[in-house]
Copies of this chain bind each other. A is one copy, B any other.
Amino acid sequence: MPKQVDHRERRETIARALWRLVEQRGIAHASVREVAREAGISHGAVQHYFATREEMLVFAMDFVSEQTSLRVAEGVRELGDPPHPRDVLRVMLTEMLPLHPDARATSRMSAAYVLEALHNANLHARARDGLTHGRDLVEQIVRQAIADGHIGPDRDPATETNLLLTLTGLTPLIELDVIEPQEALTSVDQHLDRLFTDKA
């Protein structure tokens, strides 16, 4: 066996270079060559790890989902045990908003990915599945919170889940400096306060 390299690690390095480009210059500048330059390797090396640009985008997006989940898990770990569902939802939502550098990078990558997914069946199916999965997680928390009496039994779990996810709509307002990050957090907290019957 010849020279061995951690394939996964190399792909993640490339993916992070792609993130930086998407964040700083937009996905239009995220060509195979530019990504290679950003990663400090030749474009042939990038092709060695990703047969096509699309494969690279797909991996980078899967990596976004992973890293966001990790950040959420980290945030939840800092909560009490058992954590209050209100706080769990708050962590999930705030980590999806571009409120700190890591979140901004993944947020912009997600936005670019969704836009591409509208015109690419493969990406569409993947984005759909990922988003549906995330939505299911939220709905599960909402249902449990209703069962546990944290949320009124008159609330419809599906609708409440959709309204929670709707809070990601704050993203463009934050990114374009229409509102301050603090105002975004106020909105999130206000929404959660009205959803939960008990104040954590």
**Chain A interface (Cβ < 8 Å from any Cβ of B):** 24-28, 108, 111-112, 114-119, 124, 127-128, 131-132, 135, 156, 158-159, 162-163, 165-173, 175-179, 183-184, 186-187, 190-191, 194
Contact = CB atoms under 8 A, between A and B. Distances in A.
Contacts of A166: 166-167, 169-170, 187
B169 A165 contact: yes
B26 A119 contact: yes
Contacts of A114: 172, 175-176
A128 B173 CA distance: 8
- For the residues of A in contact with B, the DSSP-based class is helix
B24 A119 contact: yes
Contact of A169 (B170, B175, B194): B170
Contacts of A156: 190
B118 A159 contact: no
16 contacts: A26-B115, A26-B116, A27-B115, A111-B115, A114-B175, A118-B175, A127-B176, A131-B172, A131-B176, A159-B190, A162-B184, A163-B187, A163-B190, A165-B169, A165-B170, A168-B172
Nearest to A194: B194
